[in-house]
Structure 1
Amino acid sequence: MSMSVSGVSVELTDARALVAGATGALGGAITAELAGRGARVALAGRDPSRLAHAVRAYPGAPAVRFDAYAPESCASAVRDASAALGGLDAVVIAFGAVAFGAASEVGDEVAEHLMAVNHLAPAAFCRAALGILHPGASIAAVTGVVAERPQPRMADYSASKAALSAWLDAVRREARSTGVRVLEIRPGHLDTGFAQRPVAGTAPPLPEGGDPRQLATAVADALETGAELLRSGPDGTPVVERRAR
């Protein structure tokens, strides 16, 4: 893989990429897109059976487990993937949890769960990656449109995603001096079934979701161009921005 620290073009061919959440719909689509562009992928997931099933599509690819409630396991997943691939050029974090309900109804345990899974665990992956990535390498993490436009009956979910977005923004500015890129992936609603698997509550009526494969293509494009933000345009189409606002 050839990388330019200043930034114009990054080849994904032979890049060593860890995808955390590779067993999910979006993480799986991102894994397939990176592999399709020639990257050497490592898959990270929580459920061993789903991880074993997912890795079958990538013969020889490392599979590492993590538990979002155990930050050390997130850091270990990064180290193990790096050891298996002989280093890492990109770490992509594409997992999370959602809950619905009025703020007065959502219990403290659910709020704590959302913050652990949606902010603290991704931050643990990023922290570990920052310790080993070389100049020109990339970290990418999925937040969501709720990070900038919090929604009623999704207060705690919105807050957890906003916390990760703020954290990434600060880390991005820290990492610029080291040459490591930080990409925030901030999509709108996607057709992944995510909203139908809440940890609490019931999803409100939602518009038709976007295609996760289209977003995965945009993620790969953003990594190749060294972009800092990937968001959804007014029509739901992914928009790659070179610099985060």
Structure 2
Amino acid sequence: MTDLSGKTYLVVGASGALGSRIARRLADRGADLTVTGRSADALAEIGDAHTVTADLRDPDAGRTVVEAAREQHGRLDGVVIAAGVVAFGPLTEIDDDTVDDLVLVDFLAPLRVLRAALPVLEPGGVILNVSAVVAEKPLPNMAVYSAVKAATAALFTAARTEARRRKVRVVDVRPPHTETGLAGRAIAGDPPRLPTGLDPDAVAERIVAALVDDETDVPSTAF
């Protein structure tokens, strides 16, 4: 287990099933954490961490959480973005409000966090985004969600080269369907019948491994 004592991380979406698991694993390795999410109660369950409640639909949320983490710790070594929403249904039935929420949370929020974090991360720092397998394999009845995830994966792939000048590693992770309960909390539509997903503990462990090693791209086949 890599010792992360003296390192500081911001985990965005830490109130979720996957984000909370990632945060706990970083804390177990000795990292100092700032965790963010919409649920203060869920964040409090993570334990010894600096908590910041935030709604990623707010245009200023990305900058606010990055600044809060850096101010709290005096430095910032890494950022994990594990927040997201999902919607189901035929394209013709997905209304504009649902599209807006998907774009705001699954694309614009990671973009804003990435943009805010790049200039302030320590040399050798890392920004990791948790995307989804649909970025590689778009699915019917998840067309908008698939497209937004693909756009975010493209964003992180392109930004990776730009970030090298700052000696910052940018990582995109696209896990297969994982039993986080996200499908049951869809913002629109009903989920299709899905096969049993991956164990979220195993997925979180794999993501942390990518975070602390030298990986930059973790496709669905790496799980």
TM-score range, shorter chain: over 0.9
TM-score for the superposition, normalised by structure 2: 0.95
| Partner SS for 1:170 | helix
User: Following superposition of structure 1 onto structure 2, how do residues 1-245 of structure 1 map, counting pairs within 5 Å?
Assistant: 12-51=4-43, 53-55=44-46, 57-58=47-48, 61-233=49-221, 238=223
Alpha carbons 1:11, 1:224 under 8 Å: kept: no
Q: Deviations over 1:25-76 (max 9, x none)?
A: 000110011111111111111123333x334x22xx2111221111212211
1:41 aligned partner, one-letter code: L
User: Over aligned residues, Cα RMSD in angstroms?
Assistant: 1.3
Instruction: State the distance in 1 between where 2:5 and 2:211 align.
Output: 12
1:105 aligned partner, one-letter code: E
How many aligned residue pairs are there? 222
Alpha carbons 2:75, 2:122 under 8 Å: kept: no
CA shift for structure 1 position 14:
2.5
2:10 aligned partner, one-letter code: L
Instruction: State the distance in 2 between where 1:85 and 1:211 align.
Output: 32
Instruction: State the distance in 2 between where 1:35 and 1:95 align.
Output: 19
Instruction: State the distance in 2 between where 1:164 and 1:188 align.
Output: 16
* Unaligned residue ranges in structure 2 (runs of 5+): none
2:27 aligned partner, one-letter code: A
1:217 aligned partner, one-letter code: E
CA shift for structure 1 position 112:
1.3
CA shift for structure 1 position 11:
5.1
TM-score for the superposition, normalised by structure 1: 0.87
Alpha carbons 2:3, 2:30 under 8 Å: kept: no
Q: Deviations over 1:97-143 (max 9, x none)?
A: 00000001111221111011100011111111002012200000111
Instruction: State the distance in 1 between where 2:207 and 2:136 align.
Output: 19
CA shift for structure 1 position 23:
0.7
* Unaligned residue ranges in structure 1 (runs of 5+): 1-9, 239-245
Instruction: State the distance in 2 between where 1:36 and 1:19 align.
Output: 14
Comparing 222-231 with 120-129, greater Cα deviation is found at 222-231
| Partner SS for 1:42 | strand
CA shift for structure 1 position 13:
2.8
Q: Which stretches of structure 1, 4 residues or longer, exceed 4 Å deviation after superposition?
A: none
| Partner SS for 1:208 | coil
Greater helix share, structure number? 2
